[in-house]
Amino acid sequence: MRRYSLRRRLLAVVLALEFALALGISFATLFFTRHEQVRAFDLRLQGRADSLLGAVQDSEDAADNLKLDPRALDLGYQDLWLVQGEGGRVIAKSAAWTPASAMAIHGSHPHTFRIDGKYYRGMVMHGIRVVDADDKSGGIPRPVTIFYAASLHHVHQALVDASQFLLLANGILLLVTGSLLIFFLRRGLAPLDHLSRAAAEVNPAQPLFRTPPDVVEVEELRTLAATLESATQKLDESFRQQQVFLHNAAHELKTAVTIVKSSLQLLASRPRTPIEYKEGLEACLADSDRMADLVQRMLLLARLEQNAAPAEAACDLSDVVQEVATQLATTAEARGVAVKLETPGEAWAPLECDAASTLVSNLLLNALQHSPAGSEVRVTIQKDAAHLLLQVVDQGEGVRPEDQPHVFERFYRGDSSRARTTGGTGLGLAICKAIAESCGGTISLAGNSGEGTRFTVKLPALQKESTRPQARQTPAITK
């Protein structure tokens, strides 16, 4: 991929635009100058032809011929002119007149032509001179034809002078504006350079991006800098969470392996009865099952955090709640806890049914584990046009305020729901959070210590009619 400098490209573009503008203005100026010069030249040409016509006089001979004395006229010595009388008789002509001139000059409107490599502009004027005019008669009219042309050298020279002036002026202007442009461009792009250097300083030893002070003042860069800061902060926090996760996972797995190893070492320390061997192996199998469940949950959590819910995923949350409540009915009955369900019929969410089942079962099982005998757990679903609210409320010991911000962290042990006495792995609520966020939802916790706990899951709602048989509906589970 070809690399380029933004500063050089901007400078080249602006200078190219300035050059194009200067070129356009120069052409427009030269066109206007030429138009005015030619118009003034035509007026002088017309005036000189008029003066020739006015200088035609009666020669006072018997034939009443015409004559012209050009010495009294102020005409250019290189001008081409010819005065003809009646019948094409030449009355007078300039010294520079040639037969080619008569062929080149035609028409009553000024026009440009070329003779011997020189450009002229000429015209033909037809007029009438009256001779022998007195008080008794109006005189005798004599037709006069005047051919007049003058060199365009002065017009061309004026255009050359104007072109040289414009070239010099535009060159100086481009030099000055180019220098100013380079200065202000460097100064204006300095915050971008500072932003680039600050971004280049981000490394494993310094993972956070620090916005330079002058970048904050630039409106176009402020959003980018804030995005970089937020991204690096999230990455840093993610790296720390990964480190904590790996540390806790290693600790959990090491503990499970140590327990299995200790049990096996204890069995092998001395001869034992078949019953003792059986009990020891069963304990090892139970610890192995717990270790396998931990690994499975870790893999599930990693998959949920990496992949969003499929776009075509959809499940009826009411059906899922009914099915999960049926599956945990035995557990609820054993703990002496009543489960009350409030579902509004169909409640479609953009989740796969397995993920929704895991979400509901983790929340309901957590509530059952921390509810005293004789209490009640309520599972409710509320819906509107845009969202679904799933709430699981228990009457257990609640969560201390200082532990509430951390209950959805992996392996967090501050909350009693993570205690090993409950048989959990410390990943259940983290998995619930990952499932909710995978489809654009949220999960939150409310309730203080001794007041019970309310988990609220807010999910996007799907407007979808059921295309499969309704799941089996079960009544509320009570003791």
List the end-to-end C-alpha distance of the chain, in Å, as a whole number: 70
Q: How far lies 399's CA from each of 339, 363, 371, in Å?
A: 20, 14, 12
Give the CA angle between residues 447, 448, 454 to the nearest 5°. 15
Q: Which of 191, 253, 271, 259 is nearest to 425 (CA)?
A: 253
3-state secondary structure of 130: strand
Please give the pLDDT value at position 191: 85
Place of tokens 């993570």: 418
Four-point Cα dihedral 198, 201, 203, 206, nearest 10: -80
The DSSP 8-state label assigned to residue 214 in this structure reads H
Count other Cβ atoms within 10 Å, centred on residue 222.
14
List the domains of the chain with CATH numbers: 6-160 (3.30.450), 213-304 (1.10.287.130), 312-460 (3.30.565.10)
Which residues contact residue 334 at a Cβ distance below 8 angstroms, ignoring those fewer than 6 apart?
A: none
Q: How far lies 392's CA from each of 176, 192, 336, 445, in Å?
A: 74, 51, 17, 10
> Which two structure tokens, joined as six digits, stand for 4?
């380029």
Q: In whole angstroms, what is the distance from residue 260 CA to residue 271 CA?
A: 18
377 within 8 A of 358, measured Cβ to Cβ:
no
Which residues contact residue 454 at a Cβ distance below 8 angstroms, ignoring those fewer than 6 apart?
A: 391, 392, 393, 445, 446, 447
Please give the pLDDT value at position 472: 37
DSSP string for residues in 140-176? EEEEEEEEEEEE-HHHHHHHHHHHHHHHHHHHHHHHH
471 within 8 A of 319, measured Cβ to Cβ:
yes
Type and span of the H or E element at 91 = strand 90-93
Q: In whole angstroms, what is the distance from residue 144 CA to residue 83 CA?
A: 7
Please give the pLDDT value at position 477: 40
pLDDT tens, position by position, for the chain (479 residues)?
A: 677 777 788 888 888 998 899 999 999 999 999 999 999 999 999 998 888 888 887 666 655 577 777 666 778 788 899 988 888 888 888 888 888 888 899 888 999 999 988 999 999 999 888 776 665 666 778 888 999 999 999 999 999 999 999 999 999 998 998 899 888 888 888 888 888 888 888 887 788 888 888 888 888 788 888 888 888 888 887 777 777 767 767 766 777 788 788 888 888 888 888 888 888 888 888 878 877 877 777 777 777 666 666 767 889 999 999 999 999 898 899 889 999 999 888 889 988 888 899 899 889 988 898 888 989 999 999 988 888 999 999 988 888 888 878 788 777 655 444 444 455 567 788 888 888 888 889 999 887 767 788 999 999 988 765 444 343 333 344 33
22 within 8 A of 204, measured Cβ to Cβ:
no
User: How remote is the C-alpha of 444 from its chain's centroid?
Assistant: 35
The secondary structure of the chain in percent helix, strand, coil, rounded to multiples of 5, reads: 50, 20, 30
Q: In whole angstroms, what is the distance from residue 189 CA to residue 211 CA?
A: 15
* pTM reported for the whole predicted model: 0.50
Place of tokens 């309310």: 454
Counting Cα atoms < 13 Å in the Cβ hemisphere of 171 gives 6
Please give the pLDDT value at position 132: 66
Q: In whole angstroms, what is the distance from residue 131 CA to residue 58 CA?
A: 6
Please give the pLDDT value at position 63: 59
Q: Which of 448, 451, 477 is nearest to 395 (CA)?
A: 451
Q: What number of residues does the chain have?
A: 479
Amino acid letter, residue 99: P
Place of tokens 């009826």: 316
Which residues contact residue 5 at a Cβ distance below 8 angstroms, ignoring those fewer than 6 apart?
A: none
Please give the pLDDT value at position 292: 80
Q: In whole angstroms, what is the distance from residue 42 CA to residue 378 CA?
A: 104
Sign of CA dihedral 73, 74, 78, 83: negative
